Structure 1
Amino acid sequence: MMTTHRSWRRAAVAAAMLLAALATPGGVASAVRAAPAPAGAAVAAAENTPIGFASVNALGRNGTTGGAGGTTVTVTTGSALEDYAGRPGPYIIQVSGRIQVDDMITVVADKSILGVGSTAEITGGGLQLGSTTRPGNNVIIRNIRFTGASDDSISVTNKAHHVWIDHNDLSDGYDGLLDIKRESDFVTVSWNHFHHHSKASLLGHSDNYTADIGKLRVTYHHNFFDGTDQRHPRVRFAEPVHVFNNYYRDNALYGIASTENAGVLVENNYFQNVAHPIYVGYDKSGPGRVVERGNLYVGSGTPQTAGTVAEPRTYYSYTLDAAATVPSVVQAGAGVGKI
């Protein structure tokens, strides 16, 4: 029987407590008495629906359902993926095996693109949610490995709203691994593994694209930013952006950057060996606003903060994991093959 996500998180936390106890004298007996780890604690039971902004009732949509209620198809080639991703109406598109594509495939509204098992991969190109004439609203992308993209691995753009990017593995692209821009809104980015790349996730097109003001409401939670250099995320104009329970490790340039009056709430994350965990303003971009609380900075620098930020709880409810448990919880649950 599948456990709930919250039950799995409690199990993962218990396992982390046990490991910590094993490192201390006398810790074995006390840990076993206090918090035994159930069998299967390392196997994640993922959410069936998104947490965060993708769950919000807004813009004529009550949450994000993707292709629910539509036809289920399985694709094994780039041409088939492009065909079904661009069709009108709801589709559940199952990606089986490794698919080679040459460019960005446009994904239009009401699609779920789901990897089968742990070997689904899109390589050589990426997915672009919507065009200027065909919106990419109500889209779910889960359980897929993205490698070697010729541009972005995933681009949420052109006013796409209600998007859930969950349990993917993204690496070795050309530009951004996951960029969200051009008036997109109500997006959740959860349980993804970003690695072997410099630019992880841009949020906001450019300093001059002021149409993003009042948009770009995004939740980032339980992602593993594993050795990526920058943009975890780099934010322009958006408020609120909610960044919670993510694991940052060995990020060479910086963790998070809030610029151009963006408002970012950063809470209960774990920063390990990150010299500049949070910037207020970056490069030629003007300063944003940041509120941080409950984070841990291990072998890391001092975060910059400024101003106040709208509370995400005015939009949705959520439960925080303790920051100390984030490395074990995120490493156990993020990436492909976990749902």
Structure 2
Amino acid sequence: MKLLPLAALISTTLLASSAAHAADWPENFSKCAAQGGTCDIGTAKRQVSFGIKNKWVVKSLSGKVACTAATFGSDPYPGVDKKCALGPLDGTTPPVTPPVTPPVTPPVTPPVTPPVTPPVTPPAGTDPLTQAAPATGWASYSSGTRGGAAATQKEIYLVGSPSQLLAALKAQAGKPAQIKVYGTIDMTASDNGGAFKSASDQGARSLISIPSNTTLIGVGSDARIVNGRIMIKGADNVVVRNLTIANPCDIAPKWDPTDGSSGNWNSEYDGLNIDKSTHVWIDHNTFTDAPRTDDQFPTENGKLKQCHDGALDVKNGSDYVTVSNNVFELHEKNTLVGSSDSTTADDGHLTVTFHGNHYKQVTSRAPRVRFGKVHVYNNYYEGDRNAKLYAHHYSIGVGYKAKIVSQNNAFDVIGATECGDVIEASGSSSKTGAIIDSGSLLNGAALGLGGASCKFSNAIGWTLPYTPALLDTAKVRESVLRNAGAGKLSVR
């Protein structure tokens, strides 16, 4: 098996064992939409192909166009779902059939004459592939976080299957890399061995381990990871953006009769886990239990047979983490910062920022904090304390030695009447934490931290090392709904 970077001819696949996916479009084109979707071309005219399996038509287009036969005036492969791909700026239409063999050498020099139309490349500092974590969160602290921004063209990969993704991660092994995901990567796909056969098999084949200096990013609006668990462990300088991550479902959850007053089902595997890592930016993703929501599972031992664990956890001394502009939806136990009261080495670490996130029908842990110096601001929470599925229990959990700064968060929770309905003391009476708040609103009224239902220590013992770009709380809902989640970044 030979792995080729995106800079190599796209008509060559990453894996010899699978069909050449890039032959679904001409040489040096890149996918912009599946049939029926919308291709965002921009203001300058560019060549756009429509086809599949070495058959396509090409037109010169601009703006947002439908990826349909009607747009292109013909159907090059009737009865088969096709794809659209972007090529260079307006110029000579490529041949109908791609070359059988790639050129021996790449062009030595770029075109002499620059295009007269506006540049396709985003302005410096705004390209999602190379952007640094903004200076409004912990990930910007110290050396900052840029992931694989320093990758050369040979270190940029386009992957659409588990085997391609795992091969790209292995090939770089900590060297700067940009790994672009298109379509759905299902870790139970046939090229990764099919359906999980046992708990140990799931543990091994669901793992997606991200090394240092890596950007993992979705292309377009439909990049998804299913039946996988992303692990950032012992790494530095990692960015994950623009992906929909289906929270993994443990095929063998275990019943623990000693957990709680009446026992509980416990599951393994988080959607994304940050463990002993530094400088991590998790941005513009969507974490969800869908399509395998909890109501699809039976009740055993008097409790729902829960197969999901966390959506995103941060633990074991991880530092300089920003979690921004994500959607967390349809989930019970969302985010732990600090895994255990007994992990006292976490004290002074777990520096994490949560901002601009949308928590929608999330039962609890948004986040639940132990030890960490955690900043939670401009997030939007919505839920229903009486919902049949994912009823709201609490949002921010103040656990053992938590040191939380909360600012301008907006809570719209049906049935919540006081601060204690959304801010909970998550530790025992002897293992308490601290939190301060300014500007947050509960159902349009002042949150009331410090009132009878919400008494906490305010001795957080630290100050922000950066200046947050605080929105007025009245504007948080609109801003978050407009901006948060996967598919909001233009990645090609």
Instruction: Determine the C-alpha separation between the residues in 1 that align with 2:474 and 2:273.
Output: 32
Q: Which residue of 1 aligns with 2:334?
A: 200
Q: Which residue of 2 aligns with 1:107?
A: 210
Q: Which letter does structure 1 place at the counterpart of 2:313?
A: D
Once the two structures are overlaid, the 10-residue window that deviates more, 89-98 or 246-255, is: 246-255
Q: Is residue 153 of structure 1 aligned with residue 293 of structure 2?
A: no
Q: Which letter does structure 2 place at the counterpart of 1:264?
A: I
**TM-score normalised per structure 2:** 0.55
Match of 1:226 among 360, 370, 392: 360
Instruction: Determine the C-alpha separation between the residues in 2 that align with 1:261 and 1:165.
Output: 24
Q: Provide the identity percentage.
A: 35
Please state how far the C-alpha of 1:273 moved relative to its aligned partner. 1.2
Please state how far the C-alpha of 1:283 moved relative to its aligned partner. 6.0
Q: Which residue of 2 aligns with 1:293?
A: 438
Instruction: Determine the C-alpha separation between the residues in 1 that align with 2:459 and 2:238.
Output: 31
Please state how far the C-alpha of 1:284 moved relative to its aligned partner. 7.8
Match of 1:69 among 144, 150, 154: 150
Once the two structures are overlaid, the 10-residue window that deviates more, 318-327 or 216-225, is: 318-327
Match of 1:272 among 398, 409, 412: 412
Instruction: Determine the C-alpha separation between the residues in 1 that align with 2:427 and 2:469.
Output: 30
Q: Which has the higher contact order (CA 8 A, sep 6+)?
A: 1
SS in 1 for 2:322: strand
Q: Which residue of 2 aligns with 1:328?
A: 478
Q: Which letter does structure 2 place at the counterpart of 1:298?
A: N
Structure with greater helix percent: 1
- Per the alignment, do residues 285 and 85 of structure 1 end up closer, same or farther by CA in structure 2, a change over 3 Å counting? farther
Match of 1:255 among 395, 400, 409: 395
Instruction: Determine the C-alpha separation between the residues in 2 that align with 1:212 and 1:69.
Output: 31
Instruction: Determine the C-alpha separation between the residues in 1 that align with 2:463 and 2:286.
Output: 26
SS in 2 for 1:229: strand
Q: Which residue of 1 aligns with 2:46?
A: none
Count residues in correspondence: 286
Please state how far the C-alpha of 1:83 moved relative to its aligned partner. 2.4
Instruction: Determine the C-alpha separation between the residues in 1 that align with 2:147 and 2:334.
Output: 24
Q: Which residue of 2 aligns with 1:169?
A: 286
Instruction: Determine the C-alpha separation between the residues in 2 that align with 1:216 and 1:324.
Output: 29
Q: Which letter does structure 1 place at the counterpart of 2:164?
A: A
Unpaired segments of 5 or more residues in structure 1? 3-44
Q: Which residue of 2 aligns with 1:317?
A: 467
- Partner deviation per Cα, 1:188-210 (whole Å, 9 max, x = no partner): 00000000110111100111111
What is the RMSD computed on CA atoms of the aligned residues?
2.2
How do residues 229-244 of structure 1 correspond to structure 2 at under 5 angstroms?
Answer: 229-239=363-373, 241-244=374-377
Q: Which letter does structure 2 place at the counterpart of 1:255?
A: S
